[in-house]
Structure 1
Amino acid sequence: MPGMIKGETSNSISHSPSLSVSTTSFSSLSHVSGHQSSPSTASTPAQLTWLQDLRSEERGLYLIHLLLACAHAVANNNMEYTNAYLEQISVLASLTGDPMQRVATYFMEGLAARITKSWPGLYKALHSTHLPSVMDIISARQVFFSVCPYVKFAFLMGNQAILDAMEGEKVVHIVDLEASDPVQWLALLEELSVRKEGPPHLRITGVSLKKDVLEQTGQRLSEEAEKLDIPFQFHPLVASLEKLDVDSLKVKSGEAVAISSMMRLHPLLAKETDAVLRTENDNHNHPVIRHLRSSSGGYERITYVSRDEAINTAGEVGSDRGLKRSREMYEAAPEVGAETLKNHVDASEAGVRQQLPRSMSLSDGNGTNVESRGKPSMVHLPRDESSCSESGFGSGVVQRILQKLQCLSPKVMVLVEQDSNHNSGSMPERFVEALHYYSAVFDSLNLTLPQHCLERVTLEKFLLGQEIKNIVACEGAERVERHEKIDRWRMRMRSAGFVSRPLSSTAALQAKRLLHGYPCDGYRVKDDQGCLTLCWQDTTLYTASAWTV
Structure 2
Amino acid sequence: MLNGGFEVDIMQPQGKMIENRCANSEKNELSQWVEHVTKQLIEDLPETETDKIVCDGVASTLLSELRPKSIGRQWCNDDEVGNGDGDESVLISSGTKPDEQGLHLLTLLLECAVSVSVDNLGEAQRMLLELTQTASPYATSCAERVVAYFAKAMASRVINSWIGVCSPLIDYKSVHSSFQIFNNISPFIKFAHFTSNQAILEAFHRQDRVHIIDLDIMQGLQWPALFHILATRLEGPPQVRMTGMGSSMELLVETGKQLSNFAKRLGMYFEFHPVATKFGNIDLSMLQIRKGEALAVHWLQHSFYDATGPDWKTMRLLQCLSPKVITLVEQEIGHGGSFLDRFVSSLHYYSTIFDSLGAFLPSDDSSRHCVEHCLLYREINNVLAIGGPARSGQDKLRQWRSELSRNGFIQIQMSTNSMAQAQLILNMFPPAYGYSLVQGDGTLRLGWKDTSLYTASAWTSHALR
TM-score for the superposition, normalised by structure 2? 0.73
Say yes or no: does 1:201 pair with 2:239: yes
- Residue 401 of structure 2 corresponds to which residue in structure 1? 490
Q: Highest Rg: 1 or 2?
A: 1
Question: Do the aligned residues in 2 keep the contact of 1:244 with 1:401 (CA within 8 Å)?
Answer: no
- Residue 85 of structure 1 corresponds to which residue in structure 2? 127
Alignment length (residue pairs): 383
- Residue 410 of structure 1 corresponds to which residue in structure 2? 323
Match of 1:257, SS state, is strand
Q: How does 1:316-335 map to 2 (within 5 A)?
A: none
The structure 1 residue matched to 2:155, chosen from 112, 124, 133, is 112
Match of 2:444, SS state, is strand
Q: How does 1:357-396 map to 2 (within 5 A)?
A: none
Structure 1 residue 529: Cα displacement: 0.9
- Residue 288 of structure 2 corresponds to which residue in structure 1? 250
Match of 1:205, SS state, is strand
> Which residue identity does 1:94 align to in structure 2?
S
Say yes or no: does 1:431 pair with 2:431: no
Say yes or no: does 1:13 pair with 2:55: no
Structure 1 distance, partners of 2:393, 2:302, is 11
Match of 1:518, SS state, is coil
- Residue 400 of structure 1 corresponds to which residue in structure 2? 313
Task: Flag structure 2 segments of 5+ consecutive residues without an equivalent.
Answer: 1-24, 45-96
Structure 1 distance, partners of 2:135, 2:159, is 20
Structure 1 residue 219: Cα displacement: 1.6
- Residue 444 of structure 1 corresponds to which residue in structure 2? 356
Question: Do the aligned residues in 1 keep the contact of 2:41 with 2:107 (CA within 8 Å)?
Answer: no
- Residue 545 of structure 1 corresponds to which residue in structure 2? 457
Structure 1 residue 217: Cα displacement: 2.0
Q: How does 1:147-162 map to 2 (within 5 A)?
A: 147-162=185-200
Question: Do the aligned residues in 2 keep the contact of 1:269 with 1:398 (CA within 8 Å)?
Answer: no
CA 1:201–1:78 in 2, change beyond 3 Å: closer, same or farther? closer
Deviation digits for residues 206-236 of structure 1 (CA, Å, limit 9, x no counterpart): 2334222222222212211121111222223
Say yes or no: does 1:470 pair with 2:382: yes
Task: Flag structure 1 segments of 5+ consecutive residues without an equivalent.
Answer: 1-5, 28-54, 272-396
Deviation digits for residues 430-473 of structure 1 (CA, Å, limit 9, x no counterpart): 21111111000110110232111222222212211122122222
Deviation digits for residues 84-104 of structure 1 (CA, Å, limit 9, x no counterpart): 433443454221121100000
Structure 1 residue 146: Cα displacement: 1.4
Question: Do the aligned residues in 2 keep the contact of 1:524 with 1:535 (CA within 8 Å)?
Answer: yes
Deviation digits for residues 24-65 of structure 1 (CA, Å, limit 9, x no counterpart): 9999xxxxxxxxxxxxxxxxxxxxxxxxxxx86222222221
The structure 2 residue matched to 1:513, chosen from 424, 436, 455, is 424
Deviation digits for residues 357-407 of structure 1 (CA, Å, limit 9, x no counterpart): xxxxxxxxxxxxxxxxxxxxxxxxxxxxxxxxxxxxxxxx42333332233
Deviating more after overlay: 448-457 vs 507-516: 448-457
Match of 1:167, SS state, is coil
CA 1:450–1:17 in 2, change beyond 3 Å: closer, same or farther? closer
Greater RCO (CA < 8 Å, at least 6 residues apart): 2
Structure 1 distance, partners of 2:430, 2:327, is 28
CA 1:132–1:481 in 2, change beyond 3 Å: closer, same or farther? farther
Structure 1 distance, partners of 2:149, 2:396, is 18
CA 1:89–1:270 in 2, change beyond 3 Å: closer, same or farther? farther
CA 1:252–1:60 in 2, change beyond 3 Å: closer, same or farther? same
Identity of aligned residues (%): 36
> Which residue identity does 1:443 align to in structure 2?
D
Structure 1 residue 537: Cα displacement: 1.2
Question: Do the aligned residues in 1 keep the contact of 2:389 with 2:396 (CA within 8 Å)?
Answer: no
Question: Do the aligned residues in 2 keep the contact of 1:71 with 1:428 (CA within 8 Å)?
Answer: yes
> Which residue identity does 2:31 align to in structure 1?
S
CA 1:232–1:22 in 2, change beyond 3 Å: closer, same or farther? closer
Structure 2 distance, partners of 1:526, 1:17, is 24
CA 1:481–1:68 in 2, change beyond 3 Å: closer, same or farther? farther
Q: How does 1:329-348 map to 2 (within 5 A)?
A: none
Q: How does 1:34-49 map to 2 (within 5 A)?
A: none
Question: Do the aligned residues in 1 keep the contact of 2:214 with 2:297 (CA within 8 Å)?
Answer: yes
